[in-house]
Structure 1
Amino acid sequence: MTSSTSQPRVIVIGGSLGGLNAALWLREAGCDVEVFERVPVPLEDRGAGIVLNPATIRYFIAHRLLDVTQISASAQWFRCMGNGGDLIYEEPCRYRFTSYNVLYRGLLSCFDERRYHLGEECIAFDQDADGVTVRFSSGRVERCDLLVFADGINSIGRRLLLPEVRQQYSGYVAWRGTVEEQELSPQAFAALHEAITYSLQADNHVLSYPIPNRDGTVEDGRRLTNWLWYRNATPGAELEDLLTGRGGERFTTSVPPGFVQERHLRQLREDAAALPPAFAEMIARTREPFLQVIIDIEVPRMAFGRVCLIGDAAFTARPHAAAGSAKAAEDAWKLGEAVKACGGDVVTALERWEPGQLALGRQLVARARHVGTRLQHGRWPVGESLPFGLYEIGDSAFDDELEDLG
């Protein structure tokens, strides 16, 4: 049996950043919320660096839980570097950077961990006029008023609701990694540590920025430097080879640290010698680079009666706008606001919520695709503004005052 509309029961599928944001904002809206994550252990060490947007940390700021300077590293400069390491452009910037682990731990600490269930994989659901029945691979069955799929790029919710939607491969992958600032030579550290730095090539591009260390340290000189190198990979045999792990495992959208074949890592480091020296050194000193396939996903709908898709489960934008985590958080906040405004009537809330989030997802995917094509094919002019932003370029910059986010 479902609960009354005065306190709707909500199940969130996916316990990452989008799912936790949804759980917290829906709890704020008066819902009884539980989160179910298919992975059996806490989601530590997922991803690497994240460019912050005010929307990403809205919950922390609105509840005055922390100071943004405690969870992020800042860059004072946006720089472009020539192949010889020469500085060819520089301007001040106001962007901040954090890591997946810092955000995940912070959001999880705000939720009731007794309502956060690991090792529970959703495999099916049925909805009727009164609620939704959710089934898990463990045999568990749950009943709720609202089912939120925040289960990411390989969403089971999207596959069940919209089986016709397919991932669209961009033609390139992102190699990623981090290195401790103190492991860099003085020359590389001086070139990189105060800045977000790009090097634009004819058919690839690379960038770096500082993020908190694994223990959360944001002290200059003790942080990590996060890097991404976008490289073309032909669909078919070349891409399939990259996605085959050391033990023959077949991956679909990313190959985690420790699983990339050694010969691919050797080739990566050899090829990096043609990059500016600071980048070549950083990549050579990275112990376990990993790779992410760059794709687009767009859905025609996000709301289905008492069921919805949020974040990457609905729209996956290329990383160049640096707004994937922000979009998931924004979807979640807007959903909580809609449920609150509708007095717990989740069907009406989803009807009101969907148009704005569809519009946001579509424009973000389109802008990130356009930016990525220009960056990857040498058509981004040196000195053009950084493409970071959720609703528009530039809205990821941080002002001194953030209190209005609540």
Structure 2
Amino acid sequence: MKVTALTEQAGQPVLRFRDGHTALADLVVFADGRSSTGRRLLDPDRTLRYAGYVAHRGIADITPQPGLRDFLRLQPCPGVQFNLAPVPGGCDWTFYLNCTSSEYTQRFGADPTRRVFALPRHVSPAARAHVDTHADLLLPVAHAAIVHATTTRMAVPVLDITAPQRMVWPIGTGHAVLLGDALAPVRPHTARGANNGIEQAAGLAAALTQHRKYAADLTAALHGWQRRHLPAAVAAVHRGPVIGNQLGLGTHQPAQ
């Protein structure tokens, strides 16, 4: 069921759904990813911005090379990064390549800020050929062969967003919060995407335990949670474009 609005009724947050029904709550938690409805409702000025490059991904049903026991990273030239790791049954790879917004739309059928994850059915023959060609041009033969051997592929446009200034919003006497990618998606090179979400979720659970089990004031507990976790989220948002620029990936624009 898709949420369409968040309002207040008799001091409580009210979620309104597409089918017309509503639900009252004391606390609303939005952990709904990069295209977050919660962010659009609570913090609408912070919209996604395409960073100018794409993470092409796949898992090849191929035996890893002898000696490939862990993560391998290749950076053959500025604007390119190739990551490879053995997984059960094959090799998982990610190939970062620069790409304009119009090129992304042509290859994957929608603007990168709309199609924030290109499923296998969205990967056009042109997109596949683009990756195969660059694998042949830029990667060692053995690694290019892994790319060619991958039948099922996906793609993720790298996105930026203005750093958040808060995680908690009052809704009447209740509250709504954003966490994880709903709060602030970050570039994968920061290694903070999943980590931010996990840490924020664990911290929120601890804050709610303080409220439910020990009668701590909910507003104070939530703002304490925000003070502990917001700085790391902001730092990761700012760090992503710096790393991308160092790698020659995308269009360098300092995080706002």
Aligning the two structures, in what range does the TM-score lie when normalised by the shorter sequence?
0.7 to 0.9
Provide the secondary structure at the position in 2 that maps to 1:152.
Answer: coil
Q: Percent identity, aligned pairs only?
A: 28
Q: CA deviation at 1:362?
A: 0.8
CA distance in structure 2 between the partners assigned to 1:161 and 1:137 by the alignment: 18
CA distance, structure 2, for counterparts of residue 278 and residue 319 of structure 1? 25
Offset of residue 139 of structure 1: 2.7
Paired residue for 2:12?
Answer: 131
Rounded to whole Å, the distance in 2 between the matches of 1:135 and 1:210 is 45
Q: Following TM superposition, by how much is the alpha carbon of 1:147 offset from its aligned partner in structure 2, in angstroms?
A: 0.2
SS in 2 for 1:230: strand
Q: How far did 1:251 drift?
A: 4.8
Residue matched to 1:368: 240
- 1:330 paired with 2:199, answer yes
| CA distance in structure 1 between the partners assigned to 2:24 and 2:82 by the alignment | 47
SS in 2 for 1:166: coil
Describe the SS at the equivalent of 1:135: strand
Q: State the distance in 2 between where 1:327 and 1:154 align.
A: 17
- In the superposition, the TM-score normalised over structure 1's length comes to 0.55
User: Superposed, which structure 2 residues align to 1:104-143 within 5 Å?
Assistant: 120-127=1-8, 130-143=11-24
The match for 2:37 is 156
Give the structure 2 partner of residue 115 of structure 1: none
Letter of the structure 1 residue corresponding to residue 230 of structure 2: L
CA-to-aligned-CA distance 1:197-240 (integer Å, 9 cap, x gap):
111122211111123x4xxxxxxxxx3321111100123x2232
Deviation at 1:347, TM superposition (A): 2.4
1:178 to 34, 42, 59: 59
**Offset of 1:128 from its aligned partner?**
5.3
Alignment: residue pair count = 237
> Pick from 88, 92, 104: which aligns with 1:239?
104
Taking structure 2 as the reference length, what is the TM-score of the superposition? Answer: 0.85
User: Following superposition of structure 1 onto structure 2, how do residues 144-223 of structure 1 map, counting pairs within 5 Å?
Assistant: 144-180=25-61, 183-184=62-63, 189-190=65-66, 193-200=68-75, 201-211=77-87, 213=88, 223=89
Aligned to 2:160: 296
Q: Secondary structure at the match of 1:352?
A: helix
For the aligned residue pairs, the C-alpha RMSD in angstroms reads 2.0
Measured in 1, the distance between the counterparts of 2:119 and 2:216 equals: 40
Instruction: Mark the CA change 1:128 to 1:333 in structure 2 (over 3 Å): closer, same or farther.
Output: farther
Q: Is the 8 A contact 1:242 1:264 kept in 2?
A: yes
Q: 1:313 aligns with which of 157, 164, 182?
A: 182
| Contiguous gaps of at least 5 residues in structure 2 | 250-256
Answer whether contact 1:168 1:296 (CA < 8 A) is retained. Answer: yes
- Structure 1 segments of 4+ aligned residues over 6 angstroms from their partners: none
Q: 1:129 to 1:308 in 2, by over 3 A?
A: farther
2:46 and 2:136 mapped to 1: Cα distance? Answer: 40
Measure, in 2, the Cα distance between the counterparts of 1:307 and 1:128. Answer: 14
What's the CA shift for 1:372? 2.5
Which residue of 1 is the match for residue 210 of structure 2?
Answer: 341
For 1:363, the aligned partner's letter is: A
